[in-house]
Amino acid sequence: MFFHRQELQHKASPDRPDAVYARKLQEVLGGQYGEITVAMQYGFQSWNAHMPGKYRDLLFGIGAEEMGHVEMLATMIAQLLEKAPVGATEKAIQDDPTVAAVLGGTDLQHAIVAGAGARPVDSMGNPWSAGYVTASGNLLADFTANANAEMQGRVQVARLYHMTDDAGVRDLLSFLLARDTMHQNQWIAAAKELQEEGYEQLPVPSNFPQRKEATDVSYEYINFSDGKHAAEGSWASGPTPDGNGEFSYRETPEKGVPMPPPTRPDARFYGTTDLPNVVEKAAGTVQDKLKKD
Amino acid sequence: MFFHRQELQHKASPDRPDAVYARKLQEVLGGQYGEITVAMQYGFQSWNAHMPGKYRDLLFGIGAEEMGHVEMLATMIAQLLEKAPVGATEKAIQDDPTVAAVLGGTDLQHAIVAGAGARPVDSMGNPWSAGYVTASGNLLADFTANANAEMQGRVQVARLYHMTDDAGVRDLLSFLLARDTMHQNQWIAAAKELQEEGYEQLPVPSNFPQRKEATDVSYEYINFSDGKHAAEGSWASGPTPDGNGEFSYRETPEKGVPMPPPTRPDARFYGTTDLPNVVEKAAGTVQDKLKKD
Amino acid sequence: MFFHRQELQHKASPDRPDAVYARKLQEVLGGQYGEITVAMQYGFQSWNAHMPGKYRDLLFGIGAEEMGHVEMLATMIAQLLEKAPVGATEKAIQDDPTVAAVLGGTDLQHAIVAGAGARPVDSMGNPWSAGYVTASGNLLADFTANANAEMQGRVQVARLYHMTDDAGVRDLLSFLLARDTMHQNQWIAAAKELQEEGYEQLPVPSNFPQRKEATDVSYEYINFSDGKHAAEGSWASGPTPDGNGEFSYRETPEKGVPMPPPTRPDARFYGTTDLPNVVEKAAGTVQDKLKKD
Amino acid sequence: MFFHRQELQHKASPDRPDAVYARKLQEVLGGQYGEITVAMQYGFQSWNAHMPGKYRDLLFGIGAEEMGHVEMLATMIAQLLEKAPVGATEKAIQDDPTVAAVLGGTDLQHAIVAGAGARPVDSMGNPWSAGYVTASGNLLADFTANANAEMQGRVQVARLYHMTDDAGVRDLLSFLLARDTMHQNQWIAAAKELQEEGYEQLPVPSNFPQRKEATDVSYEYINFSDGKHAAEGSWASGPTPDGNGEFSYRETPEKGVPMPPPTRPDARFYGTTDLPNVVEKAAGTVQDKLKKD
Amino acid sequence: MFFHRQELQHKASPDRPDAVYARKLQEVLGGQYGEITVAMQYGFQSWNAHMPGKYRDLLFGIGAEEMGHVEMLATMIAQLLEKAPVGATEKAIQDDPTVAAVLGGTDLQHAIVAGAGARPVDSMGNPWSAGYVTASGNLLADFTANANAEMQGRVQVARLYHMTDDAGVRDLLSFLLARDTMHQNQWIAAAKELQEEGYEQLPVPSNFPQRKEATDVSYEYINFSDGKHAAEGSWASGPTPDGNGEFSYRETPEKGVPMPPPTRPDARFYGTTDLPNVVEKAAGTVQDKLKKD
Amino acid sequence: MFFHRQELQHKASPDRPDAVYARKLQEVLGGQYGEITVAMQYGFQSWNAHMPGKYRDLLFGIGAEEMGHVEMLATMIAQLLEKAPVGATEKAIQDDPTVAAVLGGTDLQHAIVAGAGARPVDSMGNPWSAGYVTASGNLLADFTANANAEMQGRVQVARLYHMTDDAGVRDLLSFLLARDTMHQNQWIAAAKELQEEGYEQLPVPSNFPQRKEATDVSYEYINFSDGKHAAEGSWASGPTPDGNGEFSYRETPEKGVPMPPPTRPDARFYGTTDLPNVVEKAAGTVQDKLKKD
């Protein structure tokens, strides 16, 4: 169950409206790595978790916080839009190219659809999609996904920080940056603990019997580009992070295997083939079959 | 530049056609974590890379390999579909509920749209979307995204392994599992090397001056659920993975701040407000403004 | 702020697993009118609300309840999937066409992607899209949208009720049906109250000065089909629900106005036109302009 | 059958081209509540209708009118784009920041893809999606959906009215506003008539036997937020609009039920669990099963 | 303007319901090349046409016919669904694996969402998207798109023909096949006539001055794969269809040009770079700039 | 297998950065007819091809070239973004409306998400979708699709040519224009050769026995609009391109057939019907059935 309290975790008010910045801020609300994504992602991971206890509690705990972040950003965006100009007929706009320019940079649906309100979209207006969510049931994979989400999110907030000098906006961003710092650290710590406690190991999933994979290429770097420097990395020689092998390097792929012959599905799929007299024959086949239909 | 050779990196032929399994295999071709995703993701990361050398060469090298994996899976799927039944009018189907059941489990567009060919979709028929791709320009974030993609991909291939007993299909899957093992290890090694060489540190992005964030909550776990066990993890006390702090734990969020008052945008957005006599007044305002329009 | 409690509003456990039904239930979790839609819709309407007080409190109150419904359905689906078969290689499946049939009816991503977990998608596997959300800032329009959402939702749950005889599932559905009954009634009551209190009237938006619209066709039914019975309804004669007019009926549309002449945009858009000697002339124009470029 | 006449229902020509406004107008052509949505929605409702007569005739009649509105808007947009500048190399643009600003506000695909033509997209460039359409077969639910669509549409047109002072554009908008007034009134009248004639009642669907729902919570407002004012509305006490009950108010949700224990699906899904010695045991299980595979 | 008549162009009634086939038929209603696509495509091409007369009349004429095809297919699908089983609790289903299999092959939203009605989706449940529509303003390009659409559509209908033996369904399909034959022929004839009348030539767009392109590679086949047979086609030697050149063949691409050096955008984008002491320096730069912010 | 070489097929460097143009160029990278589309389309056509030899080699050969075009455009876009301004707080921007205008015209995700890098999206920010790809297995249909794609692509590049005067950008565009010229010619030549060699004929698919279609309307133009000029084209009289018939012209459609009666699906779908006393009766039916459930 979720309970709502009419308070915000942190102050979320700009010093002054800024409809262009409102659009930019949509990215971290409704984008691929926005707050809706992490709120839903941690939610689905917790509901699908196969073990009770601290890991699931962690997912529940951060998931609910992120729903509050969705709310803070939506609240901020609505305020940034409070003086959004209605449109091109304003006298001020006609006289002032800067104002005209501003209009060019706004999310038009903020005005036309939401009436100066926030929307569940990214900065280019794409509606949020659940295709962004990751929840596999394998916690080491999922915590790595979460660490990535918090990193991408913090990179985006950091970029947005420089796109405004509004102290109120920056105050909220500094709070979000701190929470992203915390959450990055937490998912990394949780991923490490999972491995130390033996629940999962590398390579993920660790309980698939590795002898079933083609072990001759499990630790071989095969270079399909002509860059010479890839051999210099720790991924081309030395022990592998999973502790199970030793990296090797192959500068050029081995000769491959021949492609299988093209397929010849049923003639009634009407694919183009090179069978002799194909039109007549296929038609014949078809007609033979049609008689039976 | 990309060059194509009419060979496959590994044999990709089933022992026998299986139209239902062809659909399942679409997931690792055209799904969120399928081969198209990693091929495009490593491509965009390399084209957007801001430094030459081993990291970019690594991206180029693996990216081109993944395009070859797209091809192997498409080739395999086309063969699995080679005997795809045309439809419900086949005599065998009418007599045999198992065959009828099989039809229910196929991707209908394999037959109707592609004529027994592979398609750039996932196992539920959703077309592949570039919304799956991550390429931020920050290599530590992106390599973490890549490690996650390889983990999710290997989990999915492992699951698919048990959904068939076709030796030819399993042979290809064992190859893909091995390459996912390799690539998981590589991205983890590369992420570690980036940090050791000082290009990036935690928290990502590391060159955003951390004093600008709200440091009082940078390392505090705030529990928004009522699970008691989240405090037991290494993410609630002790040093943080980024080496910059010490985790603390707060069982219940502090009292928040009051929500700001609702916004009052221009009356011409026709939002509902509680201004006294709102209809008349707003109408007045609108009409006043309309006169000027 | 949102707080999570590790309890469910109502029991959400099936009597027995049923992977096919798990897929059907996804519709009311992640479909156009599923619980994610209403949770997000009421959230965005509350964050964008322009007046404090009872209407906004209502949005906050129901919105948070709906997040709990998302959780109940996800929890139920995970349990329905608990015995989901891994795939076609199971001995029982090979012998039993009913089991084979079952597999054809499952959401393949439940197994391959989520490892027997719920997903933020509808019953055909389409990821939830924020394009389903309505939040215009005009409360009479939005409460009508909400009433519709609760109606569509209750219709779907009623249909789903007959697709199972599992007492545990039906128990949860009977709870959801009751809450949909409540919420339908609430939004209808709220829409009525808004009008009685004068915040909004029909036609929405009521403070747009109606004299600005083409009042000659504001209450005229114009029949663009040849059905004779449309004239029999209360929408073709008598007073209009907004109280501002009287319906009239026109059996056949008036003669229209001529279409404007086709547009002739800049030749450098390379549209096809019938200007005499168009290729030469346009080329000339282009070349003249190119010289200046 | 549909027949086309090369006339428009109303004049649809601007006084002067305005490429920025052309983009804004796309919202009511190809947006969530644009004319394509209502044309398709009324179409599918009529084709799926289960009763002949006045209601279906009404759907047919308005549906065909809306197709004509799609055409009027597309025609208007093409004319607004007639002088669309080709791009940044125009001399006028380089000298005039207002013109540069204008370019920033245009739909780039109007120029690059459509060559100064209308497109089936919204004002932010999202292609129209059939995910916007509602057609459930339950006419009371669907007419409520239609009333909402006409309200949202009229709100958007009203907003757009203030974003231009072009008399030709405003003339078309005043016509669309009037038709939205009519159609709002019609769907509300039709919904009322359906109930008066006993085809449907509240709660929708009315022929689901209400005793099958959890009637103890069918009319209880349960407040999941901490707003105190929700209790003041007509939705918290007094008779319910469906005439079947009496609203009650519960300030705080009852204690919920415990969450069910986490699920334990087949080990071959490779989810993370806390079973003792999970890696070894699960591997054992997997290997045992694999032998049988 | 569009007018609707309550008749169908051709009989559209199945001999018996078939819910599985109803789903298959969705492909040619709401798929990439279904009837909605061509109705909307010809519509937008006509509204955007830059010349009056026979070509535009042709677009208008066929476009309206296609709207009638949408209606015929929706009507047919609703009838195919008339006996759609409600679900798994039917006695017949429990006893009969064939019936169970049938359920696995249905579109679940036909039942749950549309109540046994047609939907604007394809056979895998993807909602129709306006991203399928092509309307460039260049008629030779667009007529080629139309010819392709009619070919793809006819291939799909031909495949569907063999997936049923219902005489009523086949009767409608035979009608659609004939109309696709007609429309294929028409667009090919129209494309030829456009060229003969000099409105457009190959290469499209023909009035772009070809001397502006890199004419040294305008007619050279450059083989990026290692297949030896591509040289054998009429596309590798001899005159080109546009009449402007002669095909030549290059077996191996020329050496390319070096990639440009990686970009070095502003440090405040937090991309990873190899500038010496990057963290310190970039931090310095950022902090310097922040002071000025 | 695909191999990558760290070279470009043609120089791809602008003379100067231009973040607004970078966004425009996204159209031909990640749009409906951008380079990702053709690379994937030719790939899937080749993997699904049913005949070896010159046609498949052609698909492989051009497909790999197009992947290199993706790379050239991504590389160009990254350079165009190299001096992308971070945001509105730059001093230069505040003083200069032209710079402000520029910001309004950029792709905000270029900055916020990609850190001044290319993205797999179109010029309006829509992510590339595999829904753009065509690969039916019928080569005459598919080569026509390919000819169309190259035409649409060349039209778009020609338009983009006039939107910049940067010599470096124009140099790349002139190269792409030439390759589009080549590829248009090749697909047209290949389509012609397929027919001459008898693999496919018009109408596509040619081996469907045409006597099975409703031959009375196979070559009849039926005019559903009131334009008088459609009869003047070569598509209304004379021999048909497929050589099988003679065009005829019908100015007005024949009288259609009556619509079938509305469907009456199971009452448990809760559709609205006009059966007498429907509520009671249907409820009765439902309750009878529920007893058996």
Residues F218 and F108 in one domain: no
Sign, CA torsion D63/D68/D69/D71: positive
Same domain membership, residue E229 and residue E181: no
Alpha-carbon distance F203 to nearest alpha carbon in chain B (angstroms)? 17
Are A111 and A225 in the same domain? no
Instruction: Based on the fold, state whether residues B97 and B153 are members of the same structural domain.
Output: yes
Q: Is C65 assigned to a binding site? A: no
| Residues F162 and F229 both lie in one domain | no
Q: Are D243 and D142 found together in one domain?
A: no
Pair A107, A219 in one domain: no
Dist. CA D74–CA D13, nearest whole Å: 11
A270 touches chain E (CB under 8 A): yes
What is the arithmetic mean of pLDDT over F75-104? 74
Q: For F286, which residue in chain E has the nearest alpha carbon?
A: E86
Q: Is residue D272 part of a domain?
A: no
Domain-located, residue E65: yes
Q: What dihedral do alpha carbons D58, D61, D64, D69 form, nearest 10°?
A: -90
In this structure, the answer to whether residues B70 and B147 fall within a common structural domain is yes
Contacts of F36 in chain B (CB under 8 A): 40, 130
Closest-CA distance of chain A to residue F119, Å = 12
Residue at A136 is within a domain: yes
Give the pLDDT confidence of E32-91 residue by residue, as tens digits: 999 999 999 999 999 999 999 999 999 999 999 999 999 999 999 999 999 877 765 555
Residues E80/E18, Cβ–Cβ less than 8 Å: yes
Residues B77, B132 within the same domain: yes
pLDDT tens-digit readout, F28-71? 999 999 999 999 999 999 999 999 999 999 999 999 999 999 99
Q: Which residues pair with D257 in a beta bridge?
A: C8
Q: Does A292 touch chain B (CB under 8 A)?
A: yes
pLDDT below 50 — which residues of chain D? 277-281, 286-287, 289-293
Amino acid in the structure at residue D162: H
- The DSSP code sequence of chain B is -EEE-SEESS----SS--HHHHHHHHHHHHSTTSHHHHHHHHHHHHHT-SS-SHHHHHHHHHHHHHHHHHHHHHHHHHHHTTT----TT-HHHHH-HHHHHHHHTS-HHHHHTTSS---SB-TT-PBPBGGG----S-HHHHHHHHHHHHHHHHHHHHHHHTT---HHHHHHHHHHHHHHHHHHHHHHHHHHHHHHTTS--SSSSTTS-GGGS-GGGTTEEE--S--SGGGGSTTSSEE-TTSS-EEEEESSPPP-EEPPPPP---GGG------TTHHHHHHHHHHHHHHH-
Q: What percent of chain D has pLDDT over 90?
A: 85
| C69 is known to lie in a ligand binding site | yes
Q: Determine the Cα–Cα distance for residues E98 and E207; give it in Å rounded to an integer.
A: 61
Q: Between chains, do F51 and A262 touch, taking CB under 8 Å as contact?
A: yes
Considering only CB atoms, F3 lies closest to which of B6, B64, B116, namely B64
Q: What's the whole-number mean pLDDT along residues C189-218?
A: 96
pLDDT digits (tens, 9 = 90+) for F159-215: 999 999 999 999 999 999 999 999 999 999 999 999 999 999 999 999 999 999 999
Return the closest-CA partner of residue E249 out of E268, E263, E228, E269.
Answer: E228
Give me the DSSP letters along F125-144. -PBPBGGG----S-HHHHHH
Question: Cβ of C101 and B103 within 8 Å?
Answer: no
* Burial status of residue A238 (CB atoms within 10 A of its CB: 0-12, 13-18, 19 or more): exposed
Task: List chains touching C (3+ CB pairs under 8 A).
Answer: A, B, D, E, F
Residue F288: burial class (beta carbons within 10 Å; 0-12, 13-18, 19+):
exposed
F69 is in an annotated binding site: yes
Q: B272 to chain C: which residues are within 8 Å by CB?
A: 50-51, 55, 137-140, 194, 199-200
Is the pLDDT score of C4 beyond 50?
A: yes
Q: How far is A55 from chain E (nearest CA, A)?
A: 31
Average per-residue pLDDT in chain E? 91
Instruction: Please give the Cα distance from C292 to D9 (Å, whole number).
Output: 43
Whether C179 and C226 share a structural domain:
no
pLDDT at A119 over 80: yes
pLDDT of B95: 62
Cis peptide before D205 (omega within 30 of 0): yes
Q: Is the pLDDT of residue C126 over 90?
A: yes
Show the domain range for E216.
Answer: 210-250
Question: Is B202 part of any domain?
Answer: no
Beta-carbon separation of D207 and F267 below 8 A: yes
* Cβ-count burial B112-125 (b if 16+ within 10 Å, e if not): bbbbbbbbbbbbbb
Whole-number mean pLDDT of chain D?
91
Task: Give the CATH number, domain containing residue C42.
Answer: 1.20.1260.10
Is residue D9 domain-resident? no
Closest residue in C to E93 (Cα) is: C98
Both tokens assigned to C246? 């009287």
Q: Do E137 and D114 touch (CB under 8 A)?
A: yes
Which residue of D158, D162, D268 is in closest CB contact with B162?
D268
What is the number of CB-based contacts under 8 A between chain C and chain D?
382
pLDDT band at A97 (very low <50, low <70, confident <90, very high): low
- Please, what is the average pLDDT of chain B? 91
- Tens-digit pLDDT profile for residues F209-246: 999 999 999 999 999 999 999 999 999 999 999 999 99
Q: What is the pLDDT of residue B34?
A: 98
Q: Are residues C117 and C215 in the same domain?
A: no
- Planar angle of CA C178, C181, C182, nearest 5 degrees: 90
**Interface touch D114/E135, C-beta < 8 Å:** yes
pLDDT digits (tens, 9 = 90+) for C63-86: 999 999 999 999 999 999 998 777
Average pLDDT of the residues in A137-158: 98
Q: Which two tokens stand for residue B196?
A: 């050791």
pLDDT tens, position by position, E46-56: 999 999 999 99
Cα(F39)–Cα(F28) distance, rounded to whole angstroms?
A: 12
Is residue F256 within 8 angstroms of chain A, CB to CB? no
Annotated binding-site residue? A13: no
Is D164 part of a structural domain of the chain?
yes
Mean predicted confidence (pLDDT) in C136-155: 98
Stronger pLDDT, C28 or D278, i.e. the higher one: C28
Q: Please indicate, yes or no, if residue E240 is contained in any of the structural domains.
A: yes
Does residue D28 fall inside a structural domain?
yes
Is residue E205 predicted with pLDDT exceeding 60? Answer: yes
| Ligand-binding site membership of E229 (annotated) | no
Chain B residue with minimal CA distance to F142? B114
pLDDT of residue F279 exceeding 50, the answer is no
pLDDT of residue E83: 85
- Do residues A37 and A132 touch, judged by C-beta distance below 8 A? yes
Give me the interface pTM, i.e. the ipTM. Answer: 0.93
| Interface check F83 vs E, CB under 8 A | yes
Residues B175, B33 within the same domain: yes
Domain total for chain C? 2
